[in-house]
Structure 1
Amino acid sequence: MSRPRKWRRVCCLPGSNLFGPLNAKFDEDDLVIMTVDEYETIRLIDLEGMMQEECAEQMNVARTTVQRIYNEAKTKLAQSLVHGKLLKIEGGDYKLCTEEKVRPGCGMCRRRAELDKINLEG
């Protein structure tokens, strides 16, 4: 009997979930699927500038798990860029932090909500 997979905490879903060359035809064989938790590691490490340890804490997983997820995500990004394949973000073992009962929203979510409020008012 295998151990159940641990849900990864994800702050937000991507605004778009399909990326690729403008002239690409939608072909299932040329489609690279990136999970939402892989997307989250790219967002946290590369965009937010977090270290793997911080990312692991944010996502509620071990650092070694973040390292594995991050490496898989980078490989998928490279396949999409180098081979001109469409990249689709979907699926994975995740829960949005707004869905959690113990910790309703992470610091990232609160900061984003504050920035959205400022942008709407200003």
Structure 2
Amino acid sequence: MPRPRKCRRVCSLPKNTSFGPVSSTDTENNTIIMSIDEFETIRLIDFEGMLQEECAEKMDVARTTVQRIYNEARLKIAKSLVNGYILKIEGGDVKLCDEAETWCGCKRCHKKKCCEGKDKSSLNNSL
């Protein structure tokens, strides 16, 4: 029996969840799904400038897990750009930062703007 997946902690949901060419007509076959935890690794490592170790601590997972998630996310972005596919961000085993936390660890915490009171079940249902 496989080990249960550990929820990854994320600061907030992305403001925009769909990216791609405007002229795309066949969206069902030309769509790549990126999970919220993959988006979070891109945001933390590439946008916030964190090291993989810092990202792993922030997301409450092992560094090797962050490395795997990050590599998968970059491949999805590359496929979307090169092939002109739509990239959608949705789902994944994630939990949002706790509102009780005074500081979640990133420079641009958006948790109060877009995810007040949401838990994992409402997160997966809202996307």
Return the TM-score normalized by structure 1: 0.83
In the alignment, structure 1 segments of 5+ residues that lack a partner are 117-122
In the alignment, structure 2 segments of 5+ residues that lack a partner are 114-127
Q: SS of 2:98's equivalent? A: helix
User: How big is the alpha-carbon RMSD for the aligned residues of Structure 1 and Structure 2?
Assistant: 2.0
1:83 and 2:83 aligned: yes
Q: Distance in 1 between matches of 2:91 and 2:41?
A: 14
User: Which protein has the bigger helix share?
Assistant: 1
Structure 1 outlier segments of 4+, above 3 Å:
none
Matched with 2:67 is 67
Q: SS of 2:78's equivalent? A: helix
Matched with 1:119 is none
CA contact (8 A) 1:97 1:104 kept: no
1:107 and 2:105 aligned: yes
Q: Which has the larger radius of gyration?
A: 1
Counting matched residue pairs gives: 111
Q: Deviations over 1:30-57 (max 9, x none)?
A: 1000000000000000000000000000
Matched with 1:38 is 38
Q: SS of 2:106's equivalent? A: helix
